[in-house]
């Protein structure tokens, strides 16, 4: 994929996807995994996971890892520029010319319609990840347990992340011990 194609593809993602990076994931997956076959599904799932845990916006993180995968450091820069530029342009125009945009009834109604589309796109992403994770039932159980715990007991997210790191490291350690014993 050329730099121009990469830029234009990520520019389209940034321009025509409402709801942020999570809403972009199904589109990125469709383009790079299903249509162009430039990234395999397992790698894309890994990129989604990396983009979620890395600090910053998921759209920028996804553009970074996919751009780097396809065209190295320059590809990363081009993809990030492409996905960020539409938002920068649109927000600048809105800020300059329409100070009270949310008071316009048509805009308010449009945003409510967009919310429904975003919920559907996010649901698609969740189902796709669940399909991939179904082979790892313990991860789904952990996610359910953590969701319930955070919702009902207001556990700080930092503790959730730290517990995931500890449990993941422990799991990897146990698996590595099993591999050593089988050799």
Question: For the segment 19-65, what is each residue's pLDDT rounded down to a tens digit?
Answer: 777 888 889 999 999 999 999 999 999 999 899 888 889 999 999 99
The pLDDT, as a whole number, for residue 133 is 72
Same domain assignment for residues 86 and 163: no
Same domain assignment for residues 153 and 116: no
Same domain assignment for residues 33 and 84: yes
Q: Domains in the chain: how many in total? A: 2
Same domain assignment for residues 140 and 105: no
Task: Report residue 12 as tokens.
Answer: 């389209």
The pLDDT, as a whole number, for residue 100 is 74
Same domain assignment for residues 140 and 123: no
Same domain assignment for residues 76 and 140: no
Q: Which residues contact 101 (CB under 8 A, 6 or more apart)?
A: 94, 107
Same domain assignment for residues 107 and 177: no
Task: Report residue 61 as tokens.
Answer: 């993180």
Q: Residues 140-168: pLDDT tens digits? A: 788 888 888 888 998 888 888 888 888 88
Same domain assignment for residues 78 and 163: no
The pLDDT, as a whole number, for residue 143 is 81
Domain carrying residue 155: 136-183
Same domain assignment for residues 70 and 118: yes
Q: Which of 90, 117, 132 is the last residue of a domain?
A: 132
Other CB atoms within 10 Å distance of the CB of residue 62? 29
pTM greater than 0.75 (yes/no): no
């Amino acid at each position: 994929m050329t730099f121009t194609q990469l830029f234009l593809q990520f520019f389209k993602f940034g321009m025509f996807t409402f709801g942020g990076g999570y809403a972009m994931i199904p589109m990125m997956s469709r383009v790079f995994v299903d249509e162009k076959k430039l990234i395999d599904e397992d790698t894309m799932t890994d990129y989604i996971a990396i983009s979620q845990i890395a600090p910053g916006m998921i759209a920028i993180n996804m553009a970074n890892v996919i751009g780097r995968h396809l065209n190295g450091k320059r590809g990363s820069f081009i993809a990030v520029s492409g996905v960020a530029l539409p938002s920068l342009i649109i927000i600048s125009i809105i800020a300059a010319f329409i100070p009270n945009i949310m008071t316009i009834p048509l805009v308010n109604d449009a945003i409510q319609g967009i919310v429904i589309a975003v919920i559907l796109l996010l649901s698609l992403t969740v189902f796709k990840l669940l399909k991939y994770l179904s082979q790892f039932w313990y991860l789904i159980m952990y996610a359910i347990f953590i969701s319930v715990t955070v919702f009902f007991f207001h556990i700080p997210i930092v503790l959730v992340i730290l517990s995931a790191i500890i449990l993941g490291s422990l799991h990897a350690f146990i698996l590595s011990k099993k591999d050593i014993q089988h050799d």
